[in-house]
Amino acid sequence: MSQHRLVNPLVRNIRALKRGALVRQAVRIEEEIKQGMKKPYNEVIDVSRDNPHATGMKPMSFSRQVIASCIYPELIDSDKMPLDVRERAKTLLECIGGSVGCYSDTIGIPIMRDSVSDFLTRRDEGVPSASGNIFITHGSDHVPTLMQDSGVLTPVPSQDFGNALVASGATAVPYYLDGQQGWRLHTEELQRALRSAREVCDPIALYVINPGDPTGHVQSRESMEEIIRFVYEEKLLLFANEDHQDILIGEGCMFISYKKVLAEMGSPFSDAVELASIHSASKGFMGEGGLHGGYLELVNFDPSVQIEFDRLISLLGLPIIGQLALEVMLNPLQPGEPSYEQYQEEIQHIRETLVHNVTRAFEVLDSLPGISCEPINGGASMFPRLHLPHIAIHQAKEEEKLPDFFYCSRLLEQTGLCVCPGSDLGLPEGTYHIRLCIMTSVDTMEEVLRRLGKFHKQFMKDFS
């Protein structure tokens, strides 16, 4: 049998990401360092994606203590853990059959849907949430599976959602955020994208990310209302990725969920617009990207769709430990509990670190020739624009490389710093950016900026 027949043809349609080549380059460099090869640096620093625990940010103590106690229940009967940790772990173990090695119910741990519903009602200041509309997931993984043979308007720049759609048999139709106006989403651009989509597929949904990833913008209520009116008039589903909702950096910046805005707009919008919103423990203060625990809430969906989604979830299976992390995120510690003060101190430390990193990054990057940055109000990434010299662009083409990848590859080779080229995130040709995670320790960010600044000055000089 021909080997290519063993591969789902949809997989072959996935756009290859240059970050993969950079990761392989980083692995090769790390191996060379281990073998004693001299480099002008001692280690590779990878800030090409949101991976805070790999870049010096410490996990939240309470969540890790609860998870550890669930994995090793003997800790519950000892005095090595605080009382609130042991009580939380005991309750969770009772809900999962006494061991994290047990299979989860196909729809998740029984108490989880209620926990999500309570969390959403608190977050949205009384807007009701029914547990029957909640689905426990690995994060946003399951959403593209619903979109087979359909078109989805997808933001550019954004993460790998477009590739996930392609792998599921759907069509990702790009719409472009306005990088000159703080990555604002214009309804005129949505109309253009929709007209384009209808020429090649049946568009059924609009996908938005708020706060933006990697752009760091936070949508205003006015912008969200415009989008809701648009999907209502065009009879589209609205998918809202709200993974970074607890990471707000801009002074006075507030997160408002699409569900809350939809409810407050009233009829006919609140009764008719189909909304799916997702959140997880992978992002935000938890940063538990490796544990994969999230939820999806459906609003105004036909019950038959929810039945089908239940069926889909039952086929995929859900990891227990990711659900434990999600439960801790949904039910934070309260004043008076033994671990509360430490919990608050850790959250405050993360906030202060993010503000420091953003401030320092703007100071450094804005001082460099050929780099410009839009303001960041939320999320865990920066997305500075590169204004590359024509000679550098020509050299990249001579080497059959995209210019931003050419820049990133040289940066990695010469400094050991790995960032993500903006072309991986769907940007059109002629626009060059890099993405770097800012949710790092202060020391890591200072080293990132030192390496990037030194390299960039020399790069601009070499190709001027």
Average pLDDT in the 344-365 region?
96
**Residue 436: strand, helix, or coil:** strand
Average pLDDT in the 429-449 region?
95
Average pLDDT in the 357-378 region?
95
Average pLDDT in the 100-107 region?
83
Q: How confident is the model at residue 167 (pLDDT cuts 50, 70, 90)?
A: low
**Residue 173: strand, helix, or coil:** strand
Decide if pLDDT at 1 tops 50: no
pLDDT of residue 382: 95
Residue 278 vs residues 49, 97, 216, 245: alpha-carbon distances, Å: 19, 27, 17, 10
Decide if pLDDT at 92 tops 60: yes
pLDDT of residue 4: 52
Residues 29-51 have pLDDT tens digits of 999 999 999 999 999 999 999 89
Beta bridge partners of 137: 294
> For the domain 94-330, what is the CATH code?
3.40.640.10
Average pLDDT in the 334-363 region?
96
Beta bridge partners of 280: 294
The Cα–Cα gap between 87 and 323 comes to 17
Decide if pLDDT at 317 tops 90: no
Decide if pLDDT at 6 tops 80: no
* The pair of three-digit structure tokens given for residue 400, joined into one six-digit string: 């059959």
Q: What percent of the chain has pLDDT over 70?
A: 91
Q: How confident is the model at residue 17 (pLDDT cuts 50, 70, 90)?
A: low
Decide if pLDDT at 120 tops 90: yes
349 and 341 Cβ atoms separated by less than 8 Å: no
438 and 283 Cβ atoms separated by less than 8 Å: no
Decide if pLDDT at 166 tops 60: no
Instruction: Give the relative orientation of helices 221-234 and 187-197 as an angle to the nearest 10 degrees.
Output: 30
Average pLDDT in the 85-110 region?
89
Average pLDDT in the 370-390 region?
94
Q: How many CB atoms lie within 10 A of CB 352?
A: 11
Beta bridge partners of 382: 436
Written out in words, the top-level CATH class of the domain with range 9-57+344-462 is alpha beta
Q: How confident is the model at residue 305 (pLDDT cuts 50, 70, 90)?
A: confident
pLDDT of residue 170: 76
Beta bridge partners of 171: 151
Average pLDDT in the 213-228 region?
95
Q: What percent of the chain has pLDDT over 90?
A: 73
Domain map (residue ranges) of the chain = 9-57+344-462, 94-330
The Cα–Cα gap between 357 and 382 comes to 10
pLDDT of residue 308: 81
Tell me the average pLDDT of the chain: 90
- How is residue 172 annotated by DSSP? E
The Cα–Cα gap between 330 and 332 comes to 6
Question: What distance, in Å, lies between the first and last C-alpha atoms of the chain?
Answer: 54
Decide if pLDDT at 142 tops 60: no
75 and 69 Cβ atoms separated by less than 8 Å: yes
Decide if pLDDT at 172 tops 90: no
Query: Is the model more confident about 111 or about 165?
Result: 111
Residue type, 131: S
The dihedral over CA atoms of 163, 202, 143, 177, expressed in degrees to the nearest 10, equals: 60
